[in-house]
Structure 1
Amino acid sequence: MAKPGGIARFINSLTGRLTLGLLAIHALMLPMLPAGVVLLVKEGYQNQFVNQVRLDSHLFASLLAQDQNEQRLRQLLHDAVLGGHVIYAEIITETGAVIQPEASRLAQIQFREDFFFSEHDDGVYYLAIPLYDERGKARATLRLGYDETPTLELIQRTYTRSLYFTLAYFVLSLSLTLMLAPLLTKSLRRLRDAAQRIADGNLREQLQVTTSLTEVNSLADDLEMMRRELINKSETLEYQALHDPLTGLPNRTLFDDRLEQALMEARRSGESLAVCLMDLNRFKEINDTLGHAAGDQLLQQVALRVRGALRESDTVARLGGDEFAIVLQHVDNVQHTTHAAQKILSQMEQPMELDGHTLDITASIGIALFPDHGDDTETLLRRADLAMYEAKRAECGYALSQPQLDQARDEKFILGRELRQAINNKQLELHYQPKIDLKTRKIQGVEALMRWRHPELGLLPAAQFIPLAETTGLIHPLLLWVLDEAFSQYHIWSKAGVKLPISINLSSRNLHNPHLPDQIAARLAAWEVPAEYLRLEINESTLNLDPSRNLEILERLAALGVRLTMDNYGAAPASLAYLKKLPIQEIKIDRAILLDPELAENGVLLRMAIEIAHLLGHQVSAQGVENKELLERLSALGCDNAQGYSLSHPMTATQLLQWLKQARHPATNTDHAGGA
C-alpha cells in the first residue's frame, strides 16, 4: 500500500485533527462574534444617539420657548445648524408660519418624524417638539433633524475593528494550536513509536513516557503491561518451538542449532565431538500393549535417565517417537564416547515402574565422531543413524560408525532417493515376457517385468531395486504405476488387434495394504479393463507369512474377477490344506526345482508338484525354462504353461508386437487363455 502524502499524513495526524477541529469550531463561532459585537454596539450607539438627541432637543425647545422674538429664534436655529450636529431646524407656529434659519442644509427634504434610529434610512433623525408658553399652552412646534452619519460611521468602524480583532484572534489561535499541538501530542508520539517497536518485535526496550496527562499515562501503563505480557508469551512460544512438549528436552530444531554451534567451536579449537542417536528396543510393543499413556511415561523416564547420565554441557534431545539424539562435546578419545554410551545403557537397564508394571528396557545407540566420520551435521547424523541400526541388528547396545559399511548403506540410501525421483522422471518402464501354452504352443499371456533405466547405472532389473522399494515404502506407488502402465498398454495392444492377459507381481508389502483390492478395482474401472485380463502373482513364501490376513485379501481380489497365481511354488512349501483354501487358479513352479541337476534326473518332485496342482484344479506354469530339453520334459509331465529364455527374453511392448508377427504366435482370447 502506498504511503500517504504530506498533506494526507498531516490530516490523519492528531495535530492535524486538532487543527482542523479548531478551524471547524472557529468557522462556526467566529462569524457570530463580530455579528454579536456589532449587534450590541449598534444598539448601544443607536440608543445613546436617540437619548442624547431627545435630551438635547428638549433642552433646545425649553430655550426657544422662553423667547418669542422671531429674529432671535431664527438666529438660535441658525446657530444650532451651524453647530453641525443639527442639519435641519424649523419652527411651525400655531398660525402655520415657518421660522427657519437663513441656511438650512436639508431645507428641501420633506419632514418625517422618526421614532427610532434610522427609521426611514435617510441618514437624518427627525423629531418634533411642542413649544409651550407660560400658561403651558403649545404655541408652536419645533422640528429638528439630527445627522445620523457620525453614529453610523462609528458603528461601521466598530464592525471593522471587530473583524480585525476576530481575524487576529483566529490567526493567534491557529498559531498557538500549531505550536502547542506537537507539545500536547509528544507523549502520544512516544507511545506510537513504542507501539511500532513492539510491532517490529523489539520487546526488550522498556517504555518510558513522562507526561502530566492522566489519560496518556494510563495508556502508557497499558502498553507497558502489554509489552511484558508479549515478552512472557514470546518466551513461552520460543521454548515450545524449541523443546519437546512431552519430555522438556530440546527438539530437532534446537538440537540441529546446538550441533552446528558445537561443530563451529570444535573446528576452531581442533577438538573432537560425538553425535549419538538412540532408540528404544521393543518400544512399539510396549506402546501397543500398555497404551500410549504408558508409552509417554516411559519416554519421560528415559529422558530423565539419559539426562542424568551425562554432563551438563552435553545436549540431549528427543527427535520424535522413541528416538533421542546426543551431542558430546570436548571428547578426548573414543573411550570417552563409549564410556558415556555405557553409562546411558546402564541407566536404561534399571527396571522401570509403569502403572504397576515392571519393565526391563534396552536401547541401541549409534555413535559418529567429528571429524573422523564426518564434518557436517547431515553426515554425522546419517553415520550415527546407520551405526544405531547396526547396534540394533547385532544387539550389542552401541556401535561406532564404520565407514566401509556406511558407504554401502549410503549408496543404498542414494539409490532409494533416486528411485523416488525415477517415478516422476519417467525412468521406469515395463518389459513383457510371453507365457506359452505348452499344448497349443500359442501365447497365453505376458508377465510385466519392471525395469529402471538409471541415467548412470543403465537398465536395472527389478531384483536390484524392488527390495529397496519395500523397505522405503515406495512399493505401493510403484504398484499403482505398474497397473496404470500395463492397462494403458493393454488398450494399445487391443487397438492393434491383440488382447493379452497381463501378469503383475505383488510384494508382501502390497498384501499388507488393506486398501489393495479397492485400489485395483478403481484402476480397472478407470481404465475399463476386464478383470479377467489381470493376473496377480504372489510368492508362496509371502502367502505363508500371515495366512489368515493374506487369505482375506486374496478372497477380496478374487471377488473382483482377477486371476491369482502362486509364484515360486516349491521354494517354501505350503500345506495342502492351506493351498486348497487359497482362491488361486494357477501355480508357478519355482525355477530352483527346474534347474537342480538332482531333481532334474528323476523328476519326482516336479511330477508331484504338477499332479498336486492339477488335483486341486489349478493350472501349472513353469518359469526359467532356458533350454528345449526342459521345455519338452515339462510338456511331457503335463505342465500347462511355460516362460523362459528358450521361448523369449523379456522385451518392450513394441518388440512384443514384432515378435508376435515373426513367431506367428496369435494372442489367444480370454476363454482359451484362462481355462483351468
Structure 2
Amino acid sequence: MASEQDDFLFLDHDDDTQEAEVSGAAWDILVVDDDPEIHSVTTLALSGVEFWGRTLHFHHAYSGKEAIEKLIHNPEICVMLLDVVMETDDAGLTVVKRVRDELKNENVRIILRTGQPGHAPEEQVIRDYDINDYKMKTELTRSKLVTSMMTAVRSYRQICELEAQGLALASILDAIKGILGHNDIRTFSLAVVTQLAKILGSEPYGIVSGQLGNDKRIVVLGGTSQFQEFFGQGLEQLDNGRVIMQVQNCFDSGEHQQTDHDITVLLQGKNRSAAIYLELDIQPTDSQLQSMEIFLANVSIGLDNIKLFNELRDVAYKDPLTKLPNRACFTDKIAQYYKDQDSNLILILIDIAQFSDINNGLGQEVGNQLLLAVMHRLDQEFPQVELLARIGADVFAMLLPKIGFDERMFMDSLLIPYQVNEHVLSIHFRVGICDQDDFACNGLETLKLAYIALNQAKQGNQSVGWYTSDLEEKMAWKLGLIRQLRQDFEQRKLEVWYQPQLCFKTLEVTGCEALLRWPSDNGRYISPGIFVPLAENAGLIVDIGQWVLEQACEQQKKLAAMGKPISVAVNVSVPQFKVPNYAQSVKETLLEYDIEPHFIELEVTESVVMDEVGAVVETLTELQELGVEVAIDDFGTGFSSLSYLQKLPFSRLKIDRAFIKDIPDNDSGAIAELVISLGRHLGRKTIAEGVETQAQSDLLKKMGCDEVQGFMYAKPMPSHEFMAFLKSYKPKASD
C-alpha cells in the first residue's frame, strides 16, 4: 500500500490543450464532479497525454453515489479526480471513506479537487482521512496537473507491481519450502533448476555448477537427469561446449548470461556461489525475469544452509533504501509505549522541505543519497534514540528521551549542510513533536497526532510544531471563523479602507493603499494577520483579492471625478499570483472599469517574488507592458532577493515597517538606508510604511526616501472619509 501522503492531491485545472482519440491500452481515469463543464475542461486539458506509452481513458460520474457504482463496475480505474463539494459539502470525503472502507479498494489513487477547500480544512482531513498534505486549487498550473496525474498513475502502477510481486513471492515461498528442506546439494540443485524452469516458463533442462578451491575450478553440483552422472566432476568433462562456455562466462563476468536459446544465472551465497544453466523454450518476459531475480536472491541462502523465512518476514517491515523500520513497523512499535509508566519519550517527525525539488532538479540518486545522509546524521547526533524509522518518502520518525532534549540544538544539528556526492546541500526541515503523555492507544493514532503538530509547523511557517491537547479547539475555532468569513464575504460585509501615501518633499498625496478590513458583530475589526491566512487556506483569497481590485478601480474612478487622479495600490497574495493568466484577468478588470493602467499599482511581497522567480518575472513583465505599476512590498524580509532584483520589472520598493518601527534607536535604520540606496541606484522610488514619529520621518527623509505612509500623516479610513480627507487636506511642505 502506498503511504497516505500519496492518496490525495488538491489540484486546479486549465484548458489550453486539444482532445485526442484514445487508442490501444489506456489508463482508466474517473472524473467525479457535479459540474459538467469540469468534466469537459478536465478531459480537454488531459487529452493527448501519454504515460508509459498509454493514453488516458475517461469515465465520468456526477455524484458520489454514481462514483461508487463506476468503481464497482470498472475495477481497472487507476486514478479518480474527485470533487469535495457535490450533493453535500462532504460528498467527496464520503466517497473516499466508502472506497477505502467498504470497497476495500486500496489501489486507486485519489486526486481531491476543490474550489472550496474550507469545507475540508487540512487538519480535519489529516485527522479523519490519514491525509498529511493540503494543496490549494490555485497552486497548480496545467503542467503541474499533468505532473500530478503522472505521479498518481506511477503510484498506481507501482502498487499493482507490488501486488504482482506479492503473488510472485507467494509462489517463491511455495518453491523454497521444498528447496530449503534439502540438506543434500544434489537434491537442492535439482529443485533449484526445476523451480527456475517453472518461473521462466520452460521445461527443466539444466545444470548447477560451483567454483571450488583457490584455483576456482568449476565442478558440477547437480541438475536434471542428463547431468546428474557428472556430479563432483569438472565442468570440462561435459560433452557440451555451449554449456561449458556459458557457465565459464557467467563466473568470469559475475553477471547473468542470456541468449535466445538459454540463460545462465549467478547464485551468490555468503560463502559460496553457483551458476545455473537452463535451456529456454521461449524468451522470458520482464515480469518473469523479475520473479527470477527475487527467487535467486532468496534461494541463494540455501547454499549456506541459512533458513529463508526470517529474512522474508523482515522485508515487510524494513525500508528498502535505509534499512530502517518502515511505517508499518514503526506504528506497531510505538503502540507499545502507550501509557508507559515512565512517559519519558517524545515522538519526533522530521520532514525534509522541498525534497521533491531536489529529486526533480538533481536526480533521484542525489535524493536517495540525501536521505541516507540525513539518516546517518540522526543516528550519529542522537545516539540515545530509542527508535528511528523512515515512514514516508521524505519523513523520518524517531523516539527520543525528552529529558535533556533541546529543540534549538536539535534543529542546529539538522541544519548543518549535507555533502552529497559533489553537492553541498543546505536543507530546511519541518518538525512535529508529540509528547508520550499524549500518545493514543494505537500507533496509527499516535502518528496522526505528530502529523497534526508537523502541519502546525508548516502552516505557521515555523521549524517546529508541538502537539497540544487544545489543537482540537483551535481547529474548531478556525473552522468557525472560516465559515463566518465565507458568509460575510458573500454578503459583502467586508470593507476596503484607504491610507494616503505622500511625497516626502512636498507632502502632496501621491497615492493610497487599499487595505482589507473585516468588521465583527461586536463592532470591532478582526486583524488581517488572522483572517488573511485563513482566507488563503480556505481558498477564498483569490475571490476576495479580485473583489478588492474591483473596489480599488471604483475608488480610482471617484478620485478622477473629484480631480484627484492619484494611484491606488492593491496587495496581491501568493495564491492570486499563481492563477493562470493572472495578468490577463487584471487587464480585463481595468477595461471593465475603464481605468488607465498606471493609476493601479500592484504590491507584490517578496514571498511571492521568491516563490517561482521565472513565472513571476514573466507575469510582472506582462503587467508592466499593460502599464500597471508594480511595487515590491515588505522588501528586506525575504531571502536571496538581491540576486534577482535586477531581473524584476517594478517601479517602487516598499520598506517594511519592521525596519522603521525602532529607528533611530537601533540598527534598523542601516537596513532602511541600504534599501533606499539600492532603490536609488536601480532608478526606482522608495516608500516607507508604518512611519509613526517625527524622528522616524526626519531620518528617512535625510536618507533620501521618496515617499511615506503611516499614522503620523494619516490612518487608514473608509472610502467616504478618505474622500473628505482629500478635499480638506492642505499639504504643508516639509523643511
Q: TM-score, normalised by structure 1?
A: 0.46
Greater helix fraction, Structure 1 or Structure 2? 1
The structure having more radius of gyration, on CA atoms, is 1
Q: TM-score, normalised by structure 2?
A: 0.42
